[in-house]
Structure 1
């Protein structure tokens, strides 16, 4: 029984000295992060396909059981909207191939304008993806959350290829007005859709956005502790990604979420032991 938890990135300006050692070289940062969390969102691949050598470095720094949920490039999902993408997709899949079993899922994040009328395009695209990968789809069009027919049609498309629906739960974040610059920035950018807790596959993936205040973040994730506990009891293997607007405390919060679930399920496999953080010395 295993719950994977992680963050939106593996390096952050406010983590050294708190969660990871100071002055780590770039080639060691993912390795250090992997002693805190056992999953990470592959958001950087949305903006540019990495070189194969870069991905080989990612693989060297992580154990085979580490989970990358790798976002497809925006040229595929947002610019070409899943059509005429063969060359871009081929280059992307070749680049990430060194991850091997660490590539937990290909993450198809779709723009808010991608609605029920586009489901035929999504179905055709998913059928073309190689079956050696799992697929996870994130939609942001409100019709999929508010119209039962649209929800069921999307679920049917995903079920045909055993793909998961990735919820991005921002309900706790939008409960109160922003109080910091980071929260104000997220307020303008993050999607406002209802919370969805229905898993379609044995490997559900959750993205949760809390607040910069720890207490509000913890209060907001309480329904997910219940849901994730139920999934584990059903024999599912979930992945939970913890976001806050500034992400300054994200690794610690991700581990705290894992602790909250493990308090319900003591048989749950523990997270890795964090790498010791030794203070800097003059000699």
Structure 2
């Protein structure tokens, strides 16, 4: 029974003297991060092409059990509707080719589509899925509300992903929209994060969860309880989830991940936690 826990980044100023000592060079923090977490979202590939040498440095910095979840380029996803299909295909094939040497440490690659991609984009989304040639999992995140209608469009979408063994990314942004934006981090999160229903459906063997936590940590417990129950069900069914935990400023994201894992341990006594999160900054200072 394995859950891959990760963040949306592997370094944060607030994590110094907690997840890694201040003396550790920035370029070495991914190695220390990988000793605590087993996966990470890599958003840089969404914005620009990451050269092969950089990918190799990341690959060599982590252990064998670690998994990178790269986001597909925006030229494939967010510009899907405005670009010629042949150009989109070219960029998608080039991206897959760049990942091919690193398959041993790949988690679910993410195709993340904007709200502009409605039901008319479904055939094109599925065509991109059909082009996937790597042996590692593929996942799809959609943000148009038609894909959450609990009716024909969503049913068709889920069925088509299932046939292709492609995972749906389950976005849970309920916590950051549960209160008014009374601080800068919540204002920013509510601007940037999609406000979509949370439908925790697994369409393949490696479901992906993106949890966006509230900065008031106790407020998250109601949703963490729900996720502990759902993840326990998935583990019992033999699925291997990836859980990427964010918070409005990402400072407390590691704490939220540890809290979720504790809740799963309560529900599943035989479950062995894969999350050795340091308990205090004092502990880290002794390294």
Scaled by the length of structure 1, the TM-score of the pair is: 0.92
Matched, 1:125 2:128: yes
Change in Cα spacing, 1:186 to 1:273, as seen in structure 2 (3 Å) is closer
Alpha-carbon distance, 1:65 to partner? 1.8
Query: Counterparts of 1:116 and 1:272 in 2: how far apart (Å)?
Result: 38
- Give the whole-Å Cα distance in 2 for the aligned partners of 1:19 and 1:106: 25
The Cα shift of 1:37 comes to 1.1
Identify the residue that residue 72 of structure 1 maps to in structure 2.
72
Tell me, which stretches of 5 or more residues in structure 2 are unaligned? none
CA distance in 1, matches of 2:181, 2:286: 35
Aligned equivalents of 1:211, 1:272: Cα separation in 2: 21
Question: How many residues align structurally?
Answer: 280
User: Whole-Å Cα distance in 1 between the matches of residues 8 and 36 of structure 2?
Assistant: 13
Structure 1 match to 2:284: 277
Moved more, 168-177 or 266-275: 266-275
Counterpart of 2:247?
244
Whole-Å Cα distance in 2 between the matches of residues 147 and 117 of structure 1?
Answer: 17
Partner deviation per Cα, 1:217-242 (whole Å, 9 max, x = no partner)? 23332211110011111111111111
Ranked by relative contact order (alpha carbons within 8 Å, sequence separation 6 or more), the top structure is 1
Partner Cα distance (2:171, 2:62) in 1: 26
- In the alignment, the residues of structure 1 paired with residue 66 and residue 237 of structure 2 have an alpha-carbon distance, to the nearest angstrom, of 22
TM superposition shift of 1:147: 4.6
What corresponds to 2:18 in structure 1?
A: 18
1:37-56 matches, within 5 Å, as 37-56=37-56
Q: For the residues of structure 2 that align with 1:51 and 1:26, how far apart are their CA atoms?
A: 19
Is 2:167–2:208's contact at 8 Å kept on the other side of the alignment?
A: yes
What is the SS of the residue equivalent to 1:22? coil
1:185 corresponds to 2:188: yes
Any runs of at least 4 consecutive aligned residues in structure 1 with deviations exceeding 6 A, and if so which? none
Q: Does 1:167 align with 2:174?
A: no
CA distance in 2, matches of 1:79, 1:155: 23
Please list every run of 5 or more consecutive structure 1 residues that lacks an aligned counterpart in the other structure: none
**Mapping of residues 1-283 of structure 1, within 5 Å:** 1-81=1-81, 83-84=85-86, 85-271=88-274, 273=276, 277-278=284-285
Cα distance change of structure 1 residues 243 and 149 upon mapping to structure 2, 3 Å threshold: same
Paired with 2:275 and 2:196, the residues of 1 have a C-alpha distance of 33
- RMSD of the TM alignment (CA)? 1.9
The whole-number CA distance in structure 2 between the counterparts of 1:253 and 1:19 is 14
Task: Say whether the 8 Å CA contact 1:36–1:255 is kept in structure 2.
Answer: no
